[in-house]
Structure 1
Amino acid sequence: MGKGLSRDLMLRNQYFAAEATWEEIGRLLYEEFRAEALKAGPFEVPLENAVAKHQLRLRNAIQQQEGIGGSDDEPLCANYSPDLQIRILRLEPSEAPGPLLDMGCGERGDLVFHLHTLGRSDAFGFDRLCETAGPLIQAGWFEVPWHMDVLRALRPGGSFRYAPA
């Protein structure tokens, strides 16, 4: 995969790692694009269509492989999939001691609700953008007077997992 694409992916997702799988995916996508571009020839509209198809294929590959998505102008960290977050945090939901607190859970609190579907009713989250409902509290880091208490309240055998956004 080209250094430019790898750089762009890393800027949009700090957890992106250009592994061998990505090298092969990138090679296949660019081969497909090259064939379509050559077929389009010098005609502007078919070439624009080939570029648009290529961009869509890249987005779909990124969404499928990395579990991230969103519009071009939206930070991807707001859309990290629960599975990607679990992988980054090296969290085993069924075995992690509770309660689980997602500090900065995002507008939708996807990880919190995903943990609930896995039977973790002791999962909670807060974020400046979420609505206070169910296990979510609308609050920012500096608005929550007890966020340092979380660190002091860790139980023996508990853990603090951090993944910067």
Structure 2
Amino acid sequence: MNKFRESIDKQIASNQDRNLFSSGNPPSFHFIEETINAIGRIEELSKNEEQVLIEYTVDKVLQTFYRINQYYYFDAAAREKLKAIYSHLLSSFREKTTPVKTIAQNHYENIMQWLRETNAFAEKIYNNHTMKVEDVPCFAYRAEMQIEILQLKVSQLKEPVLDIGCGKDAPLVTYLREKGIDATGFDRFPSKNENVLMSDWFTFSYGEKQWGTIISHLGFSNHFQHHHLREDGEFVAYAQKYMEILRSLKPGGSFHYAPDLPFVEQYLSADEYQVTTRQAGNSGFRVTVIKRLI
């Protein structure tokens, strides 16, 4: 199994910066030698092992897409469709009736169609002759920097604390816990930190009146703005999730985030929420604190 995982890793690494929607020549995508060698050993795999490898591949592929562009989003249905694509790929390998070159071509056309269906904006921004794509950076900033930008008063944070999109290394969660604060985070990348769950802000269960403080630095609100400005954006889904997050605050609890969301903040009930916004230093954006009153 390890050899198969290694070949999967190498195949993904060989493709990770290539543009699916490039119309240039030669073709951007192909199977590397390690993959072709693995195809020759496909009969060694049991059906259970095959399913394990499909899950492994899907996880790796999704993480690669997220690294290329942080604004990609793949829900449970998208994941199932991707699993079906890789299941079909392994079936083609087992049948051995189609040339490997043709299998590769069909596979990457399936991946391209899947990306088109799940994140339609991708084709609009990458549909050109460029063979490689530039990453959209997404960093986990130092805890001290996040505290400074969000102007958090650590000693006054109401517990428990939830960091939304904390990053796989979760620097702020780690910092707060070292200060004796009950802090948890979640991120869509797997983390070795026991206080970080693998989830995303659409699937995470926030609960009702559960959190004393919720924090999101250049995370949820950044993506909300992105979808608000896109013609095909999921702005309604983000607005619904935003209100769900606010309802998960305890009375007296607060949601700290940057950048601000004036297009939705202005409609919050003044009887239920106190809205405070301020400039985040010289950053060019503003920080918001929403305090739940009742």
TM-score by length of 1: 0.48
The structure whose Rg is larger is: 2
TM-score by length of 2: 0.28
